[in-house]
């Protein structure tokens, strides 16, 4: 039996360096590794965006940008099942069916939902304020994404473990009632899902406005690097290598001799922050020049992006239709 590995990506637009290091690179690596012994499914979780994001044009644009990002960084749509969630309507049908074997109590325990309630409690608001059913049902939709394709392994960051466990529980209850139909998935923590610091040293995140864009104009990227906040030690002074510049550098520079040179320069003194920032910007340029060009070309050719998504949907829908018809028969719809 081949191993099936599946991951969904919410359409969040152009990636910054934090997404790149924490999510995109490890995902591409994992796909490469599994391609040898199994099948990979990578999809844009655009239904999942709807509970939060109500700007249609923004969602559409973000979707194109995420598709172009993965293609620009080398995802091969011939080898990987690469598709848009909304092009596979069987997924929502499965969501609807699974909701009948999902205890409400399980959903009450969902981290995302609980977090919103906790925020409301702190603010003295109604507990369900701002909670729509899309947020509440989010884990069932995600279970359908996973169970649709008999997924064995779901690579996730720590925040998503609970969702995979829910999918397992939901599959278990379904099978208990209707027989062995759904495959129980397992999560796999993405090994090198490093959290990289942003310009101000906090976690790099759009909401902190401290990101380094990777697919924008190279000058903007360089400028951002130059704005990284450091202490005011002089070039000759020894410095703590656990600073933002080095943390980023060791993630992006593949030449270990260069990484060691920066490390030594900081620890022994002799390397100033300004020069270190230039080294970081140079590495980023080297690594990103090609993908950036590719990204621009792809974004200028939406028709091609549409075709890639359609091709992906066509491949996986065959499988989805088979699965859903089995499920429909089991529960008595057909
Ligand atoms: N919930 C995931 C996230 O926020 C995205 C996602 C949706 C997903 N469906 C999935 C991830 C299925 C893995 C498998 O990142």
CATH of the domain at 325: 3.40.50.620
Q: What pLDDT does 195 receive?
A: 79
- Output the CA 48–ligand 1 centroid distance in Å: 8
Are 279 and 309 within one domain?
Answer: no
Q: Determine, yes or no, domain membership for 278.
A: yes
What b/e readout covers 167-177, taking b as 16+ CB neighbours within 10 angstroms? Answer: bbbbbebbbee
Are 221 and 134 within one domain?
Answer: no
Structural domain of residue 237, as residue ranges?
Answer: 215-297
Q: Which residues line ligand 1 (CB under 6 A)?
A: 6-8, 10, 45, 48, 142, 145-146, 154, 160, 163
The CATH number for 236's domain is 1.10.240.10
Are 248 and 310 within one domain?
Answer: no
Q: Determine, yes or no, domain membership for 14.
A: yes
Q: What pLDDT does 191 receive?
A: 64
Q: Does residue 292 carry a pLDDT above 80? A: yes
Q: What pLDDT does 77 receive?
A: 96
Q: Determine, yes or no, domain membership for 271.
A: yes
Are 289 and 309 within one domain?
Answer: no
- Output the CA 149–ligand 1 centroid distance in Å: 14
Tens of pLDDT, residues 170-201: 999 999 999 999 999 999 887 655 778 999 99
Segment 214-223 mean pLDDT: 89
Are 310 and 278 within one domain?
Answer: no
Question: Distance between CA atoms of 140 and 52, rounded to whole angstroms?
Answer: 16
Tens of pLDDT, residues 138-177: 999 999 999 999 999 998 888 899 999 999 999 999 999 9
Question: Distance between CA atoms of 60 and 56, rounded to whole angstroms?
Answer: 6
Q: Does residue 36 carry a pLDDT above 90? A: no
* CA of 10, closest atom in ligand 1: 5
Question: Distance between CA atoms of 227 and 65, rounded to whole angstroms?
Answer: 26
Ligand 1: residue whose CA is nearest its atom 7: 8
Q: Determine, yes or no, domain membership for 203.
A: no
Are 37 and 80 within one domain?
Answer: yes
SS3 content of the chain, % helix, strand, coil (to 5): 60, 10, 30
Among 12, 27, 41, 163, say which to mutate for ligand 1: greatest number of ligand atoms within 8 Å of CB: 163
Are 112 and 172 within one domain?
Answer: yes
- For residue 114, what are its two tokens? 């609980």
Q: Determine, yes or no, domain membership for 201.
A: no
Are 292 and 315 within one domain?
Answer: no
Tens of pLDDT, residues 95-120: 999 999 999 999 999 999 999 999 99
Label residue 248 by pLDDT band (50, 70, 90): very high
- Output the CA 28–ligand 1 centroid distance in Å: 15
Q: Determine, yes or no, domain membership for 208.
A: no
Question: Distance between CA atoms of 16 and 18, rounded to whole angstroms?
Answer: 5
Among 145, 161, 166, say which to mutate for ligand 1: greatest number of ligand atoms within 8 Å of CB: 145
Segment 55-79 mean pLDDT: 95
Q: Which residues contact 256 (CB under 8 A, 6 or more apart)?
A: none
Are 62 and 149 within one domain?
Answer: yes
Q: Determine, yes or no, domain membership for 29.
A: yes
Are 260 and 175 within one domain?
Answer: no
Q: Determine, yes or no, domain membership for 205.
A: no
Ligand 1: residue whose CA is nearest its atom 10: 8
Q: Kindly state the DSSP code that residue 251 receives in the 8-state scheme.
A: H
- Output the CA 43–ligand 1 centroid distance in Å: 9
- Output the CA 285–ligand 1 centroid distance in Å: 30
Are 71 and 169 within one domain?
Answer: yes
Mean pLDDT score of the chain:
94
The pTM (predicted TM-score) of the whole model is: 0.92
Are 286 and 177 within one domain?
Answer: no
- Output the CA 190–ligand 1 centroid distance in Å: 13
Lowest-confidence segment of 24-28, 148-152, 232-236, 249-253 by average pLDDT: 24-28
> N- to C-terminal Cα distance for the chain?
29
- Output the CA 25–ligand 1 centroid distance in Å: 16
Number of domains in the chain: 2
């Amino acid at each position: 039996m081949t191993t099936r590995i599946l991951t969904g990506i919410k359409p969040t637009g152009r990636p910054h360096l934090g997404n790149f290091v924490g999510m995109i690179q490890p995902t591409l690596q994992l796909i490469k590794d599994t391609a040898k012994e199994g099948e990979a499914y990578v999809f844009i979780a655009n239904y999942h965006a709807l509970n939060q994001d109500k700007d249609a044009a923004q969602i559409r644009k973000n979707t194109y940008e995420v598709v172009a990002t993965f293609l620009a960084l080398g995802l091969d749509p011939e080898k990987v099942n690469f598709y848009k969630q909304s092009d596979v309507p069987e997924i929502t049908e499965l969501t609807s069916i699974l909701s009948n074997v999902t205890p409400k109590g399980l959903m009450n325990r969902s981290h995302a939902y609980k977090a919103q309630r906790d925020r409301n409690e702190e603010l003295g608001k109604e507990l369900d304020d701002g909670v729509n059913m899309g947020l509440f049902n989010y884990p069932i939709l995600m279970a359908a994404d996973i169970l649709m394709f008999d997924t064995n392994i779901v690579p996730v960051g720590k925040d998503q473990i609970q969702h995979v466990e829910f999918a397992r529980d939901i599959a278990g209850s379904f099978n208990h009632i209707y027989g062995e139909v759904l495959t129980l998935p397992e999560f796999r923590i993405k090994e090198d899902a490093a959290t990289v610091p942003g310009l101000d040293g906090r976690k790099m995140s759009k909401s902190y406005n401290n990101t380094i864009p990777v697919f924008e104009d190279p000058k903007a990227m360089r400028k951002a690097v130059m704005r990284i906040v450091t202490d005011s030690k002089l070039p000759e002074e020894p410095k703590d290598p656990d600073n933002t510049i080095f943390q980023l550098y060791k993630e992006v520079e593949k030449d270990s001799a260069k990484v060691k040179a920066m490390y030594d320069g900081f620890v022994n003194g002799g390397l100033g922050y300004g020069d270190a920032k230039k080294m970081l910007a140079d590495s980023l340029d080297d690594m990103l020049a090609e993908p950036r060009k590719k990204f621009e070309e792809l974004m200028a050719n939406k028709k091609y992006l549409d075709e890639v998504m359609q091709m992906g949907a066509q491949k996986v829908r065959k499988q989805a239709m088979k699965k859903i018809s089995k499920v429909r028969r089991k529960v008595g719809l057909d």
